[in-house]
Amino acid sequence: MSKVRKLEDTVAMIPDGAVLMIGGFMGVGTPPHLIDELLRQNKRNLTVIANDTARPAVGIGRLIAAKAVRKVIASHIGTNPETQRQMIAGETEVELVPQGTLAERVRAGGFGLGGVLTPTGVGTVVEDGKQRIELDGTVYLLEKALKADFALIAAKRADYLGNLEYALTARNFNPLMAMAAETVIVEAEDIVPVGVIPPDSVVTPNVLVDCLVAKEHRHG
């Protein structure tokens, strides 16, 4: 059964105050039309978990500029002066997480783990408020898993069932986030008939995907 839905209806499922994971790295691999529609429907008080906030006019940066976001959990905001301004002014809460730790926290959330032990951040401000665990002579921080209400995912190709393929560096956090949210919404560049994507090429299996929105073309 096809999971293709109308963009408006799909985004209408997302309430104000929702926790969103949004794929992408500096806008590459961020689903553009889902961002457009979040803005058009004037969503508010969102919590966004993402690698970065891109630039003010790009990807997640547009949600920041529109004041749609209450809290950001990200590894890097250096390319978006507006995120830094909102953080320093106390308008938006920002939790900075080392990039590899962010990836693992999202992965843990989707893989049924409570968290991970990582040496990254030991002895730095990242350690504040966290449990330190020594194991076989190495010190680790206990970093808790992250989960979300919705994941907004960009894929290169999807079939109608929701099997996904990604492209090059647009993959980044997308397959991890597709595991870690209650509802997974995918914007695919192409939607193709079932069977076109060979099983070996599927990175995100269809059972994880709830809704598909076409970015450009549809075939079949």
Partner 1 sequence: MDEKTLIAKRVALELRPGNLVNLGIGLPTMVAAHLPAGVNVFFQSENGIIGMAPVPEPGAENEDLSDAGGSPIGAVPGAASFDSAMSFGLIRGGHLDVTVLGGLQIDEEGRLANWMVPGKMVPGMGGAMDLVSGAKRVIVAMQHSAKGTPKIVKRCELPLTSVRRVDLIVTELAVIEPTDKGLVLREIAPGVTVADVLAQTGAELIVPSVVPTMPVGA
The values of phi and psi at residue 52, to 5°, are: -155, 180
When binding is defined by CB under 8 A, the residue of 41, 118, 183, 206 that contacts partner 1 is 118
Binding mask 152-191 for partner 1 (x = CB under 8 A): ----x---------xxxxxxxxxxx---------------
Q: Are 156 and 170 in contact (CB under 8 A)?
A: yes
SS3 label, residue 50: coil
Number of residues located near partner 1, criterion CB under 8 A: 51
159: alpha, beta or left? (left if phi > 0; alpha if psi -120 to 50) = beta
Angle at 44 (CA atoms; ends 42, 46), nearest 5 degrees: 125
- Min dist CB 83 to partner 1, Å, is 9
Residue 52 to residue 73: CA distance in whole angstroms:
8
Q: Which stretch binds partner 1 (CB under 8 A): 3-11, 39-47, 104-112, 210-218?
A: 104-112
Q: Which stretch binds partner 1 (CB under 8 A): 6-14, 94-102, 142-150, 206-214?
A: 94-102
Contacts (CB under 8 A) with partner 1, residues 5-34: 25-29
Cα–chain center distance at 94: 16
DSSP conformational letter for 78: T
Question: Residue 111: which residues within 8 A CB-CB, separation 6 or more?
Answer: 179
Handedness of CA 74, 213, 150, 106 (dihedral sign): negative
- Min dist CB 2 to partner 1, Å, is 25
Q: Are 64 and 56 in contact (CB under 8 A)?
A: yes
Binding mask 37-66 for partner 1 (x = CB under 8 A): --------------xx-xx--x--------
Q: Is 130 in the site for partner 1 (CB under 8 A)?
A: no
Neighbours of 196 (CB within 10 A): 16
- Min dist CB 51 to partner 1, Å, is 7
Q: Is 84 in the site for partner 1 (CB under 8 A)?
A: yes
When binding is defined by CB under 8 A, the residue of 21, 50, 103, 208 that contacts partner 1 is 103
- Min dist CB 36 to partner 1, Å, is 17
Interaction site with partner 1 (CB under 8 A): 25-29, 51-52, 54-55, 58, 74-79, 84, 87-88, 96, 98-104, 106-107, 118-126, 156, 166-176, 203
